[in-house]
Amino acid sequence: MQDVLDIQVVPLSPACGAEIRGVDLTKPLSRETVEAIRDAWDKHLVLVFRGQNVTQEQQLTFASYFGDLGSRKKAPEPLRARAEGAQQDHEKVLLVSNIKENGVPIGAFGEGEFWFHIDSGYSATPYRYTFLYALELPSTGGNTMFSNMYKAYDAVPEALKRKLTGKRALHIHEYNRARQADASGDISNIPHYYHPVFVTHPGTGNKTLFVDRLMTTALEGFDPAEGAAILDQLYDIGERREFIYEHVWQHGDFLMWDNRCTIHARTDFPKEQRRLLRRCTVEGDLLRE
Ligand SMILES: [Fe+2]
């Protein structure tokens, strides 16, 4: 068992993010250690463990200390090719990869830039947590940027906060990575959900801005043009540089983040270079203002 006293929490940026040292993720963890990690998580939102060597089962075991494991969500048939991968053989695991074997992608969300988003933000109960482990990395790029949405909420002008209190926004997923979903047509066959614009984090009790550029496409009860202009303003607040921690991946990095109070994005990377990360999640709950 891990001795809780060995754990060090080293902040990585003024925005969010901390490295946790002294934890071996392949070992069973004591309740005290899990609580220490949870406390650091509530404070820093994104945790980084370097130099790990975890199997799929060890990753799932570790994630399960923090809740019920999330199942990979199936895309509707017309969009399925965007989210499936030949080597995704476990319903709780998603491989984020651009690797193809015999011309067939082994994972999903392969190459290029990925706009800011919330994992499964388009569902009624977005994943509470995401755990991502680096197996193969390109020589440059493919960084993951995390923005602190508590800080974004605090930065929303008071008049706009009043205007948006009690309002909901439409989140929709077309399984694109760098193009906003189109909500103008019939979306009944595309995963979507209306969430409060401002969400109270169930763990910390603090308010967050729950909006992202990739999937949040309309404000309920607003004229479309006015809603789009307000959303543009909110995306920009959420993506302010001072709210962002940019993670430059190293082999063996294991990251975990809280989807209720962060958004994340990926920078571009050379598409001819292999990139493979193993993702699992913890199921979420209905979100309230
Ligand atoms: Fe993601």
Pull the structure tokens for residue 85: 């991968």
Q: Which amino acid is at 170?
A: L
Q: Which residues surround ligand 1, an ion (CB under 5 A)?
A: 119
76 C-alpha vs ligand 1 centroid, how far in Å? 18
Task: Give the Cα separation of 225 and 228 in Å (integer).
Answer: 5
> Residue 154: which H helix or E strand, with range?
helix 149-155
266 C-alpha vs ligand 1 centroid, how far in Å? 8
pTM for the predicted model, two decimal places: 0.95
The candidate with the shortest Cα–Cα distance to 101, out of 279, 252, 276, is: 276
Q: Could you give the strand order of the β-sheet that contains 114-117, starting from the edge strand earlier in sequence?
A: 114-117, 262-266, 144-148, 244-247
194 C-alpha vs ligand 1 centroid, how far in Å? 19
102 C-alpha vs ligand 1 centroid, how far in Å? 26
279 C-alpha vs ligand 1 centroid, how far in Å? 9
Task: Supply the pLDDT for residue 185.
Answer: 82
CA Rg value for the chain: 18
Each residue of 112-161: pLDDT tens digit?
A: 889 999 999 999 999 999 999 999 999 999 999 999 999 999 999 999 99
Task: Supply the pLDDT for residue 4.
Answer: 52
Task: Give the Cα separation of 91 and 80 in Å (integer).
Answer: 15
Task: Give the Cα separation of 118 and 218 in Å (integer).
Answer: 16
Which residue carries 């430059």 as its tokens?
A: 248
Task: Give the Cα separation of 133 and 54 in Å (integer).
Answer: 8
Task: Give the Cα separation of 88 and 106 in Å (integer).
Answer: 7
Task: Give the Cα separation of 97 and 275 in Å (integer).
Answer: 5
The candidate with the shortest Cα–Cα distance to 61, out of 254, 202, 253, is: 254
Task: Supply the pLDDT for residue 66.
Answer: 97
Ramachandran region, residue 51 (left: φ > 0; alpha: ψ -120 to 50; beta: rest)? left
Task: Supply the pLDDT for residue 217.
Answer: 94
Per-residue pLDDT of the chain (289 residues; tens, 9 = 90+): 555 568 999 999 999 999 999 999 999 999 999 999 999 999 999 999 999 999 999 999 999 999 999 998 877 777 777 767 778 789 999 999 999 999 889 988 888 889 999 999 999 999 999 999 999 999 999 999 999 999 999 999 999 999 999 999 999 987 778 788 887 888 888 889 999 999 999 999 999 999 999 999 999 999 999 999 999 999 999 999 999 999 999 999 999 999 999 999 999 999 999 999 999 999 999 999 9
141 C-alpha vs ligand 1 centroid, how far in Å? 16
E strands in the chain:
8-11, 18-21, 46-49, 94-97, 100-101, 104-105, 114-117, 129-136, 144-148, 168-172, 192-196, 198-200, 207-209, 216-219, 244-247, 254-258, 262-266, 276-282
Task: Give the Cα separation of 281 and 269 in Å (integer).
Answer: 24
The domains found in the chain, sorted by start residue, are: 1-284 (3.60.130.10)
CB distance 133 to 26 below 8 Å: no
98 C-alpha vs ligand 1 centroid, how far in Å? 15
Task: Supply the pLDDT for residue 233.
Answer: 98
Beta bridge partners of 168: 196
Pull the structure tokens for residue 283: 């199921």
Pull the structure tokens for residue 268: 């571009």
